[in-house]
Structure 1
């Protein structure tokens, strides 16, 4: 079997067709060990049951700071230490009790009811975006639609000026690239630009509060507890980047999957009530998130192998979603598939808080797209499509279509 490095799981070539490699690992090395440049090790986990168990196992943590010796932290350059401190404040990088506290506070401002109230506005934005391209008879489904819908929604939710949305595309595209493709200086420059923007925005919201999500997060309080400045910056980072990155890829990957399976696409057009099931199957079949990460907080024996304290553990959600033991005929796109307990949004304490919003946007976007443009089709060969370089996210650079 070939030797894989961590970088191999984020290349455009891998993202174009990752399924044979996932199948190979699942059958031959479901706990695949990789050597990292710093001398440590990482593990790629591909079995559904293992991923589910690790997601709920307190021995595997999200907060890597707990594993970095104090002397190493003290020797970090101030710019690196400051960035690590801020990003370490977000829910996705925290463990209980910090994670529990943050999630309780944020949940007060980011409720399912609040998401459902956005339905009408999401539909309006969707219609407006499709109105813009209808007369042209063609579009880049990513740039003209899949990107603009969620970034407009999340900017409006948070109270970010819509004219700044292109900045977030540049920031997000850079920050989700594999770290091997960028220098530490480049990464810090981009990230600090993002942080400076969020700081200025938070200061504006303090001076001129409104009813948008950032202002609500500033005001939110539980038993005298509030979000600190670093926690607010980190939460804004999480919501703005992860909050729209997932949905861009859900709409783009989902549209491509339908275009490559015209029988299923016609089925959805004829049975629009199938949209809820359809989005769940598209999340399983062509997941927008490929990997999530944990660290072993103590030595763990798993399937006869030794995972040492401090080892990084990557949970291959997409591989689990194509495991035949859990999903019969996994390479078949079946929009009516039930049950469909996929792991596209993770499981356990760190289940994606924004999942209801991503689902709602995906349902409205795809249903409206197929209703408005029933003759939607690709204008290039599938093998000519370009995939983004990203470790953890899977998405297209562009998706040229006509209608």
Structure 2
């Protein structure tokens, strides 16, 4: 079933890599409302663009309705360098990995109500909820705001031709208002959360301004939420399509990280990312003009046969150091450590409890409609319970 829905949609990408590796599509719609842009499909071209921030800028988005000037993912050096040097003082791998015991607890809590029935809708009951809880815990957002996360995430990743840009900008403004209130509270009463850590973080570049802090929380929250959600869905889909992978991970749990890394290549949660040309430039024979938008197809780059042998085959033992799922160069995602940690823990817990996972009978799967996120809209599953795991946990 997955062969036609999620994993093997790469025939078109391979065709473009061979015949039109760079071409201009005047009808392409970007998630922020712009239309028309160059489409890039080859791994080397995409890495070259991501490496050259002096020619291809990350400052591609309109600033209407909310100030994006301090958004780490949407700025170039030297401002980017200053922000990253301060943020990395607070958002460290140690800070992230300290959440591991709590994430294990959340995974078990989310799964427990479904063990007896042997079925669940994996997206709405697990894959969508765990990232919301995790991002809220990490940043320091009250539990009452979880439902807002879903609305904001859909407004960011949905097709702008369907949801409309007014909803997009309203969501950004609502999110900003929430963060402003929390920041003011943390100034008075610091907590063990990222907002408190960012307020105190300082490097030789100074401290974050209020605008910079708010922007970073926003760029971490929504992309992080949707990326982790898609990673969980796509990993579960792989385990169903390839039960031998699930059995291998159960037998050799230390290979869970390798499996997650291959999912990130084989079926990445993000489809593509934009850039804008800062000057006229020739790239692979194409004349790109200043202010032209570019769309970098990460999903195609990760399946480029010039870089990955047998790219349409899932192989957790391959070298994945060249995948571009989390970007490349100075704009490599700062949230990649968190996404991989949540994915690893979730799969460990799921496979500890579940076996013989299947798609529920008579269900037709559909792709989530988005210009950013590469995943399924729903994933109803059935399973058997691993009795050893259940008894070991006292259930």
Q: TM-score, normalised by structure 1?
A: 0.87
Structure-1 residue corresponding to 2:40: 45
Gaps of 5+ in 1: 1-12, 69-79
| Alpha-carbon contact 1:274-1:336 (below 8 Å) kept | no
Structure 1 contact 269–374 (Cα < 8 Å) conserved: no
Q: Shift of the alpha carbon at 1:249?
A: 0.5
1:402 alignment partner in structure 2? 382
**1:64 and 2:55 aligned:** no
Structure 1 stretches of 4+ with a deviation exceeding 3 A read 13-18, 36-41
2:277 matched residue in structure 1: 296
Name the structure 1 match of 2:22: 31
- Displacement, 1:123? 1.4
Give the whole-Å Cα distance in 2 for the aligned partners of 1:16 and 1:182: 26
Question: Alpha carbons of 1:381 and 1:356: their partners in 2 closer, same or farther (altered >3 Å)?
Answer: farther
More moved, 115-124 vs 299-308 = 115-124
Partners of 1:291 and 1:275 in 2: CA distance: 26
Per the alignment, residue 8 of structure 1 pairs with none
Quick one: structure 1 residues 356 and 220, their matched pair in 2 at CA, closer, same or farther if it must change by over 3 Å? same
Query: Displacement, 1:289?
Result: 0.8
- Rounded to whole Å, the distance in 2 between the matches of 1:380 and 1:94 is 47
For the pair 1:313 / 2:294, whether they are aligned, the reply is: yes
Is the contact between residue 40 and residue 311 of structure 1 (CA under 8 Å) also seen in structure 2?
Answer: no
1:202 maps to 2:183: yes
Residue of 137, 146, 150 corresponding to 1:156 = 137
State the partner residue of 1:3.
Answer: none
The answer to whether 1:376 aligns with 2:367 is no
Is contact 2:265–2:325 with CA below 8 Å preserved after alignment? yes
DSSP-derived class of the 1:81 partner: coil
3-state SS, counterpart of residue 315 of structure 2:
coil
Taking the aligned partners of 2:178 and 2:83, their CA distance within structure 1 comes to 22
Q: For 1:83-162, what aligned pairs fall within 5 Å after superposition?
A: 83=66, 86-162=67-143
- 1:144 deviates by 1.2
Q: 1:351: Cα distance to partner?
A: 0.2
For the residue of structure 1 that corresponds to 2:90, the secondary structure is coil
TM-score (norm 2): 0.89
- Residue 231 in 1 paired to residue 197 in 2? no
* Cα deviation, residue 146, structure 1: 1.2
Give the aligned CA root-mean-square deviation in angstroms. 2.2
CA contact (8 A) 2:17 2:42 kept: yes
Distance 2:361 2:85 in 1: 47
Are 2:262 and 2:320, in contact at CA under 8 Å, matched by a contact in 1?
Answer: no
User: Which residue, out of 329, 333, 338, partners 1:357?
Assistant: 338
Distance 1:380 1:56 in 2: 46
Map 1:243-392 onto structure 2 (within 5 A).
Answer: 243-380=224-361, 384-392=364-372
Distance 1:380 1:290, change over 3 A: farther
Q: Does 1:218 align with 2:209?
A: no
Q: How many angstroms does 1:338 deviate by?
A: 3.1
Deviations 1:42-66 (A, max 9, x none): 111110111111111121110137x
